[in-house]
Amino acid sequence: MPLLRPATALRALRSPSIAASTQQRPISSKAAALASPTNRLRNGLYGTLLLGLLGFGYIEATDTRSSIHTYTVPTLLRYIFSGDDVSRPGPEAAHVFGLRALNLAHALGVPLRERGDHPYLPHLRSELFGLDVNTPLGISAGLDKHADAIDALFELSPSIALLEVGCVTPKPQDGNERPRLFRLPISKSFINRYGFNSIGADAVARRLRERVRRYAREHGMTEEEVLNSLEIPASLRPGRILAVQIGKNKTTPETDIEAVKRDYVECVQKLGKYADVIVVNVSSPNTPGLRSLQAAKPLTELLGSVVKAAEQVERARKPKVVVKVSPDSDSRDQIRDICQAVKNAGLKGVIVANTTVTRPPELTASPQTSEEEKRIVAREAGGLSGPALLPRTLRLVREYRNQLGRDIEVIASGGVSSGKDAMDCVKQGASGVMGYTGMVYGGVGWFGRVAQELAEEAEKLRSRRR
Ligand SMILES: Cc1cc2nc3c(=O)[nH]c(=O)nc-3n(C[C@H](O)[C@H](O)[C@H](O)COP(=O)(O)O)c2cc1C
């Protein structure tokens, strides 16, 4: 039997006489206590603190220059992805994860970016390939091989003025077997032998076209209007340049120059209209025979046909053609032959240089170098990247600049870790400076820091000249 019959219960709810005697006093005294000025102040303080913490956490998590992104995230990623990529996730898995995370944050509307103002910008404005750019800095090829994080990467910092995606091959190919990427954390370097893993030119072209279509929709334009505008760069961002790097398929024999030309020309035909710059890769040490294409005769033929294909691209502003050379082709004769081919073909620039197959002794010179790191340096084949490359980059930039004169851009790539390194490249004649390994070890705020340091170096130089 119910404690109260329904009618009585209703009356009890309405009638103060029944309820008041039992419950009202404790509730009202509790409410009174809660509403006391001390409590209100305390609750207000807690609320503000919580909101402050959430806000601080949000800003720390999305500001690329926060200490979380400088120190915690790179170390944490190395710790979590400490395997060999065969039995346990390793450096390659970290690479894939990092790009996905950047893309996800961007898609959710909370992109990682450099907050606050960017005091370096007025000091670093430059001109590259006839375009006004925010800075002379850029991301080297191989970080975004399949062009799937272009906007998330540009968003990281306005200092990233040049982004080179690829290498893209005409047909899809898997690249070499895993493991194919090795960390050398003490020397802050990598050895990689990816071997042009690519989703192929058609798939990359679809991605690039989708970007253009999205931009057209958002700006009330047609796709053709975007592509044929002389004001909108292929990066779709003022002050920024999008370069697409192309290579040949592994199955195309390097000795069959006609087949090699067909591979590169096919890439230009499919990708050229989405690029401000096309980079011809003949310098990867991980595709057998590729670097032999740097010899005078095949290089002249190859570059000539790429330039011709670029001139026929259906876009008002045609992509400029650039070649990326190997740091290991560094004899006087080799450099002279490459420069002759560059001039004969009418190229607009040279990227100096790629990873090296050499293993400079300073790589393992630190007493902290682990046995595992020594083993990797001694045994693993592939291209070395990181600070040990810098001396050679500087020497090569100077030699290429001397041979090419002022009308052809010389872009430095290899071993840059700081704004001072970037300034050293500029002093040797580089018109642009690219980085990759530095950012992986230094975190997503690395470019902003290098830009700030470079601006300070430029200011020092100016005041010394005054
Ligand atoms: C994992 C990895 C993949 C790379 N893939 C490419 C590539 O596909 N094409 C290319 O031209 N260079 C590639 N590179 C070389 C870089 O673009 C750059 O030239 C080289 O790493 C030297 O610069 P850094 O010392 O600043 O990293 C790759 C480098 C790394 C570490």
**Backbone φ, ψ for residue 198 (5° rounding):** -145, 145
Atom 1, ligand 1: residue with shortest CA distance: 192
pLDDT score at 27? 52
Position 119: which residue type? Answer: P
Catalytic one among 66, 140, 235, 284?
Answer: 284
CA of 283 to the centre of ligand 1 (A): 10
**Which pTM was predicted?**
0.90
pLDDT score at 156? 97
Task: Report residue 236 as tokens.
Answer: 């779709």
Residue-range domain boundaries for the chain: 66-465
Pick the CATH number of 66-465 from 3.40.50.150, 3.20.20.70, 3.40.50.620, 3.40.50.300: 3.20.20.70
Residue 452: HSE in the Cβ half-sphere, 13 Å Cα cutoff: 11
Residue 42: HSE in the Cβ half-sphere, 13 Å Cα cutoff: 7
Distance CA(184)–CA(370), nearest Å, equals 9
CA of 355 to the centre of ligand 1 (A): 6
Mutation choice for ligand 1 from 322, 354, 447, 450, CB with most ligand atoms inside 8 A: 354
pLDDT score at 39? 84
Mutation choice for ligand 1 from 85, 436, 441, CB with most ligand atoms inside 8 A: 436
284 is catalytic: yes
pLDDT score at 465? 82
CA of 147 to the centre of ligand 1 (A): 15
Instruction: Answer yes or no: is the C-beta of 325 below 6 A from any ligand 1 atom.
Output: no
CA of 194 to the centre of ligand 1 (A): 10
Instruction: Answer yes or no: is the C-beta of 341 below 6 A from any ligand 1 atom.
Output: no
Query: Which stretches of the chain drop beneath a pLDDT of 50?
Result: 1-25
Atom 7, ligand 1: residue with shortest CA distance: 142
Beta strands in 59-133 (DSSP E): 126-128, 131-133
**Residues 6 or more apart in contact with residue 145 via CB below 8 angstroms:** 165, 166, 167, 168, 194, 197, 198
* Residue located via tokens 């995370």: 101
Atom 21, ligand 1: residue with shortest CA distance: 385
